[in-house]
Chain A
Amino acid sequence: MAVDRRKIAVFGAAFVLRLLLTCLFPSLPDLLTGRVEVSTPVNSFKRLQEGLFLYTRNVSPYDGGVFHQAPLLLPLFALLPNAKSWPLPTAIFYFLVDLLNAYALLTISASGQSVKSRLHSAVRKHVRWDGVSVAAWFLFNPLTIATCLARSTSVFTTSGILFAVSNAVSGNTINAMLALGFASYLSLYPVLLFIPLVLLCYDRRSEGSSPPNVGSFIVQHAALLLASVAGLLGLSCLITGDFWEFISATYGFHLLVPDLTPNVGLWWYFFIEMFDSFREFFLGVFWLHLASYMGGLTARFRRQPLFVVTALLGVFAIFKPYPSISDASLFFALLPLYRHLFPLMRYTFFAGSAILYSSLLGPAFYHLWIYAGSGNANFFYAITLVWSLGLSILLADTVFAALRDEWEQECPGMVGAEVRQV
């Protein structure tokens, strides 16, 4: 059982690495928790602690306008010992969630959906990494480790999305919808993944005996998703009591973006500068921009729904209102599934350099702006632009490679032919 031993080694090493980092540098988790690159108003562990404090004292957790996360997290964390005095149990809980996410990736990779689906079969099938490598790529990604140590609640959204995908590729369509419902309930934007995910489910189902009717299949699963979200909302209502207060404090906060704390995204600077009277309009524009990729990508990559999910996760990591490095780490987690596209990509060096450059210089410029006072907001904003540029190049390159792959599959004679962009 050589493979199993490798798997255990990777998972064990990842766990030990996290444990060592926590124990050797006890101040590291709190340092990371305070970083704007990791903690945004919608996933910050500090804000969760505030909500938890209010919740355990029978005050509405949304009083004071600090806490903006889903209420179901509160009873979950109320079960864990206090993170201030006993940080280890909470930390280990987060490590286990990370390992679970890696396990979901393992399942996705094992299904082979990324190279061969019902309607599509990649030209370079043989160029691929096995599941353990994909999981290791995810587990040892510094962005993932930082997110995990900072105890950002984005990891639960990540779990929801990864488990939705892993269940979809395994054919457990009901579980996939429930997991997507959980992710959407936590952070709203994963609901945009519904269409590609339901197509993935449909493709898996159609590989079997009798393909079901597309329309009724989609409607059934939409109903399932709605039911799961409604059930979670109902539970939350039991916890908080005031339905509208919790809706406006969580989803209203996601939609209307009132907190313009700097983060690695593009929204905060823009909305600081925006004329007040145009604020609503540009909120609409930004959200529509985010949502509009869903239709186009799904139509173009109808044959590779899993790739649509990957590309959309990349779009979210760039254009979502409160992005953090955990969104980028989710995108990077799914990319190695497309190892066969890497030979077709043209700007990997440029994209990689831009991302490295910004991830090293970002904290420095933030320090210059906020603590040293020798820089201004534009320093940090410029770096977030570079970060987004790097991600965009990577995303566009991946999309290009996928298109090229499809084209080569259609015209086998053109494999390896030179292309020139016009």
Chain B
Amino acid sequence: MATKIGDQESPQASASHQPSVKRAPPPETPAAIQTRFRVIAAFWAVIIFLGFPIWWKTTSIYRASLPIEEMVDWADGKACRPVFPLEIHLATPSMQSLEAQHLLRTTQHALDDLNEFAAHHLRLKLSNGSTTATHNGEDSPESFKYLAEETADTALTVRLLPQEGLVGPRSELQTATTQLDIFYPPNQVPVPSSSNSPLSAFITAELQRLYSEEKATIAYILSGNTAGLDSTSPQLAEEIDRRLRRSIKYAETYHLSFSLFTPGSEPSSWDIEAAVNEYVSPLLQALSPISNFTIDTQVQLYANFAPTAPKPEYDESEAVWTLKKEGLSAFVNAAEWPLNPSIGSGPTINFILYIPDPSQSPLFVKENRASSWMVPQWGGVFILNPPLSHTDKQGGPSNPTHLSQDSLGPAFMTFSHQLLTLLGTPSTPTSLPLRLQTSIRIRAASLLLSASSTMGSLARLTKSLPSIPIPATVATSVSTTLSHLSSSCAHLREGRFSAALASARVAETEAERSFFEKSMVGQVYFPDEHKVAVYLPLLGPIGVPLVVGLLKELKRIAGRRKAKGAP
């Protein structure tokens, strides 16, 4: 283009610069002017009618609109105050209904007076004994779902049973169900006139004791510390802090890896399937509202200690081999033992069953004669010392070639306990269903907070980087997250904790998905100055002759119009 315009004018220009040339250049004919106008118009038509639409279409950044205000509200905790109203049924099979109601009222009063953490409170409710029994100990997900649609989960059933010959009331927590039996002397039934009674005080104290750890944990999660609770002892606070540090970060799916390691060739087989079915599967079933689990197992023979690890020492006094406590961290030979750090998306929890060599058997931890320990956020180790057999012809004792389900029992009991600890299940109370329920509430609270803060981060990110694209999938994920967050919050308010956890899990997954959307982060750092560097080298050389040509043409048209108007 430049060539053409230049060339076309060059004879004329050269003539004007050289007045000595005899003949003046002939004036441009109207046809030539018209042709030049057509040429410039042809180029600009392409630019305007094709170039600009293409530029607009290919460089505009699609930003789906996000409910920024709402997201920030969730992150700041304005949208939802998580509350944990626990419904506790009071079964009084042998009490007059009037008396029972009075007892309930006074106990509730006492509980409310003592409660200093408003988000977590206990609600007592009278129930007739026949219906409460049906809810007891039902932890399967089906019943959780079923309950979630109708009423609040029953956190605990307190059964008041008169018993002759007691001086004061006495409590007994059933370890397999969510039931607390309180036995009281029949003469301590409070009379409606009295405002206080030893029985209600006892029930209050029992319930407070039962839920103190959970309350402290939830307070810790919601506020970051337990300072708000006066009653929490420093030991308990430290305990909670330690437990949360030891437990693995929440994930939608965990991989459980059970490994049998032995330095020799035996045992080479174990009844792992039966052991898992017997000891682990029921626990996983109970944990299924919280997370999903996959299991894999392996047997590794000739697994040696790392060369730098301290060797077991022989304790002559007790005829056992011992490991020093401080050397346990080097026990797992991470370099050589094939323990995958992660399979698929979720974290892996490793459980190692170690069978020592017959020459070093039995093997224990020196300080406390323990045979198992836990590695925080990683897994657990159990040293199994099987009975040695002397059938070998060479004379030395040898390990059994096969480990039966029974011999694996203690190890897998320990592993299940370690699994619960690693998942952050509180250590009190003694009843497993109660601990699982507590775990559900704790998880719901932490997921609610985590998804909310992810929403806040996403909102801040989109506000601070106006140049990143926001695909429609992110907007969908955000709206799914927000709706599940609010339904989770509503479930919490009404005491349906399993449903709240289910919603919070969806919210967390969607929040993570929206925050880590790949197409968004691709252009996170691309300031506008860089666009000049992208556009100019190419479009500059093309653009200058086009723009200059257009300007000249416009000037000519303007001049002609002026000339027409002037005379």
Q: Which residues of chain B are near A50, meaning CB under 8 Å?
A: none
- Cα-based distance from A295 to B32 in the complex (angstroms): 16
- Cα-based distance from A404 to B51 in the complex (angstroms): 31
Selected from B35, B45, B538, B542, the residue in CB contact (under 8 A) with A282 is B538
- Whether the pair B8, A403 counts as a contact (CB closer than 8 A) is yes
- Whether the pair B51, A285 counts as a contact (CB closer than 8 A) is yes
Interface residue count on the A side (C-beta < 8 Å): 35
Binary flags per residue of A381-422, CB closer than 8 Å to B gives 1, else 0: 000000000000000100110011001001101100111111
Contact of B238 with A by CB under 8 A = no
- Whether the pair B42, A289 counts as a contact (CB closer than 8 A) is no
CB proximity of B365 to chain A, nearest CB, Å: 56
- Whether the pair B523, A288 counts as a contact (CB closer than 8 A) is no
Selected from B10, B39, B46, the residue in CB contact (under 8 A) with A422 is B10
Q: Which residues of chain A are near B522, meaning CB under 8 Å?
A: 276-277
- Whether the pair B1, A296 counts as a contact (CB closer than 8 A) is yes
**Which residues 166-196 of B have a CB within 8 angstroms of A?**
none
Selected from B26, B59, B542, the residue in CB contact (under 8 A) with A278 is B59
- Whether the pair A399, B4 counts as a contact (CB closer than 8 A) is yes
- Cα-based distance from A12 to B6 in the complex (angstroms): 46
Question: What secondary structure prevails in chain B residues at the interface with A?
Answer: helix
Binary flags per residue of B1-17, CB closer than 8 Å to A gives 1, else 0: 10110111111011001
- Whether the pair B43, A403 counts as a contact (CB closer than 8 A) is no
Contact of B50 with A by CB under 8 A = yes
- Cα-based distance from A421 to B14 in the complex (angstroms): 8
Binary flags per residue of A267-294, CB closer than 8 Å to B gives 1, else 0: 0000000011110111011001101100
- Whether the pair B11, A299 counts as a contact (CB closer than 8 A) is no
CB proximity of B545 to chain A, nearest CB, Å: 11
Contact of B534 with A by CB under 8 A = yes
- Whether the pair B54, A284 counts as a contact (CB closer than 8 A) is yes
- Cα-based distance from A399 to B39 in the complex (angstroms): 14
Q: Which residues of chain B are near A400, meaning CB under 8 Å?
A: 3, 7
Quick one: closest B residue to A413, CB to CB? B23
Selected from A292, A299, A399, A413, the residue in CB contact (under 8 A) with B35 is A299
- Whether the pair B54, A277 counts as a contact (CB closer than 8 A) is no
- Cα-based distance from A194 to B162 in the complex (angstroms): 104
- Whether the pair B13, A422 counts as a contact (CB closer than 8 A) is yes
Quick one: closest B residue to A397, CB to CB? B3
Contact of A157 with B by CB under 8 A = no
- Whether the pair B7, A285 counts as a contact (CB closer than 8 A) is no
Contact of A324 with B by CB under 8 A = no
Quick one: closest B residue to A408, CB to CB? B11
- Cα-based distance from A295 to B54 in the complex (angstroms): 19
With contact pairs A278-B59, A410-B29 given, residues A288 and B43 touching in the complex (Cβ less than 8 Å): no
Selected from A285, A302, A399, the residue in CB contact (under 8 A) with B538 is A285
- Cα-based distance from A288 to B538 in the complex (angstroms): 13
Contact of A298 with B by CB under 8 A = yes
Quick one: closest A residue to B523, CB to CB? A277
Selected from A282, A292, A298, A417, the residue in CB contact (under 8 A) with B46 is A292
Q: Which residues of chain B are near A396, meaning CB under 8 Å?
A: 3
**Which residues 49-88 of B have a CB within 8 angstroms of A?**
50-51, 54-55, 57-59
CB proximity of A318 to chain B, nearest CB, Å: 14
Selected from B7, B26, B46, the residue in CB contact (under 8 A) with A404 is B7
CB proximity of A280 to chain B, nearest CB, Å: 4
- Whether the pair A284, B10 counts as a contact (CB closer than 8 A) is no
Quick one: closest B residue to A299, CB to CB? B38
Interface size class of B (residues with CB under 8 A): 35 or more
- Whether the pair B14, A295 counts as a contact (CB closer than 8 A) is no
CB proximity of A387 to chain B, nearest CB, Å: 19
Contact of B532 with A by CB under 8 A = no
CB proximity of A99 to chain B, nearest CB, Å: 36
- Whether the pair B42, A296 counts as a contact (CB closer than 8 A) is yes
- Whether the pair B35, A421 counts as a contact (CB closer than 8 A) is no
Selected from A281, A295, A300, A404, the residue in CB contact (under 8 A) with B58 is A281
- Cα-based distance from A289 to B545 in the complex (angstroms): 14
CB proximity of A347 to chain B, nearest CB, Å: 11
- Whether the pair A403, B58 counts as a contact (CB closer than 8 A) is no
Binary flags per residue of B494-538, CB closer than 8 Å to A gives 1, else 0: 000000000000000000000000000011001000000010001
- Cα-based distance from A336 to B382 in the complex (angstroms): 91
Q: Which residues of chain B are near A404, meaning CB under 8 Å?
A: 7
- Whether the pair B10, A299 counts as a contact (CB closer than 8 A) is no
- Whether the pair A421, B39 counts as a contact (CB closer than 8 A) is no
Quick one: closest A residue to B46, CB to CB? A292
- Whether the pair A403, B54 counts as a contact (CB closer than 8 A) is no
- Whether the pair B14, A422 counts as a contact (CB closer than 8 A) is yes
With contact pairs A278-B59, A284-B58, A296-B1 given, residues A421 and B6 touching in the complex (Cβ less than 8 Å): yes
Q: Which residues of chain B are near A407, meaning CB under 8 Å?
A: 8, 11
CB proximity of B3 to chain A, nearest CB, Å: 5
- Whether the pair A285, B46 counts as a contact (CB closer than 8 A) is no
- Whether the pair A421, B59 counts as a contact (CB closer than 8 A) is no
- Whether the pair A280, B58 counts as a contact (CB closer than 8 A) is yes
Contact of B539 with A by CB under 8 A = yes
Q: Which residues of chain A are near B14, meaning CB under 8 Å?
A: 418-420, 422
CB proximity of B245 to chain A, nearest CB, Å: 42
- Cα-based distance from A410 to B55 in the complex (angstroms): 41
**Which residues 347-376 of A have a CB within 8 angstroms of B?**
none
- Cα-based distance from A400 to B54 in the complex (angstroms): 32
Selected from B43, B59, B542, the residue in CB contact (under 8 A) with A295 is B43
Q: Which residues of chain A are near B47, meaning CB under 8 Å?
A: 288, 292
- Cα-based distance from A50 to B26 in the complex (angstroms): 62
- Cα-based distance from A239 to B49 in the complex (angstroms): 37
CB proximity of B56 to chain A, nearest CB, Å: 10
- Whether the pair B42, A295 counts as a contact (CB closer than 8 A) is yes
CB proximity of A381 to chain B, nearest CB, Å: 15
- Whether the pair A414, B42 counts as a contact (CB closer than 8 A) is no
CB proximity of B252 to chain A, nearest CB, Å: 31
With contact pairs A292-B43, A299-B42, A421-B10 given, residues A411 and B59 touching in the complex (Cβ less than 8 Å): no
CB proximity of B25 to chain A, nearest CB, Å: 8
Q: Which residues of chain B are near A289, meaning CB under 8 Å?
A: 542
- Whether the pair B35, A281 counts as a contact (CB closer than 8 A) is no
Q: Which residues of chain B are near A421, meaning CB under 8 Å?
A: 6-7, 10
- Cα-based distance from A414 to B26 in the complex (angstroms): 9
CB proximity of B466 to chain A, nearest CB, Å: 15
With contact pairs A277-B523, A296-B42 given, residues A284 and B4 touching in the complex (Cβ less than 8 Å): no
- Cα-based distance from A250 to B147 in the complex (angstroms): 60
With contact pairs A285-B51, A422-B13 given, residues A299 and B39 touching in the complex (Cβ less than 8 Å): yes
CB proximity of A305 to chain B, nearest CB, Å: 14
- Cα-based distance from A288 to B45 in the complex (angstroms): 11
- Whether the pair A288, B54 counts as a contact (CB closer than 8 A) is yes
Binary flags per residue of B469-487, CB closer than 8 Å to A gives 1, else 0: 0000000000000000000
- Cα-based distance from A407 to B8 in the complex (angstroms): 9
CB proximity of B225 to chain A, nearest CB, Å: 45
Binary flags per residue of A191-222, CB closer than 8 Å to B gives 1, else 0: 00000000000000000000000000000000
- Cα-based distance from A284 to B58 in the complex (angstroms): 9
- Cα-based distance from A276 to B9 in the complex (angstroms): 42
- Whether the pair B10, A419 counts as a contact (CB closer than 8 A) is yes
Quick one: closest B residue to A291, CB to CB? B46
- Cα-based distance from A414 to B21 in the complex (angstroms): 12
With contact pairs A281-B58, A284-B55 given, residues A300 and B10 touching in the complex (Cβ less than 8 Å): no
- Cα-based distance from A97 to B11 in the complex (angstroms): 45
CB proximity of B161 to chain A, nearest CB, Å: 73
Q: Which residues of chain A are near B39, meaning CB under 8 Å?
A: 296, 299-300
- Cα-based distance from A407 to B10 in the complex (angstroms): 11
CB proximity of A5 to chain B, nearest CB, Å: 43
Contacts A277-B59, A277-B526, A300-B4 given; 14 further ones with Cβ under 8 A?
A276-B522, A280-B57, A285-B51, A292-B47, A296-B43, A298-B42, A299-B42, A400-B3, A410-B29, A413-B23, A419-B10, A420-B14, A422-B13, A422-B14
The 10 tightest CB contacts between A and B, nearest first, are: A295-B42, A284-B54, A280-B58, A299-B38, A281-B58, A420-B14, A292-B46, A422-B13, A396-B3, A296-B42
In the assembled complex, 10 residue pairs joining A and B whose CB atoms fall closer than 8 Å, in A order, are A275-B526, A281-B54, A281-B55, A291-B50, A292-B46, A295-B43, A295-B45, A414-B11, A419-B10, A420-B17
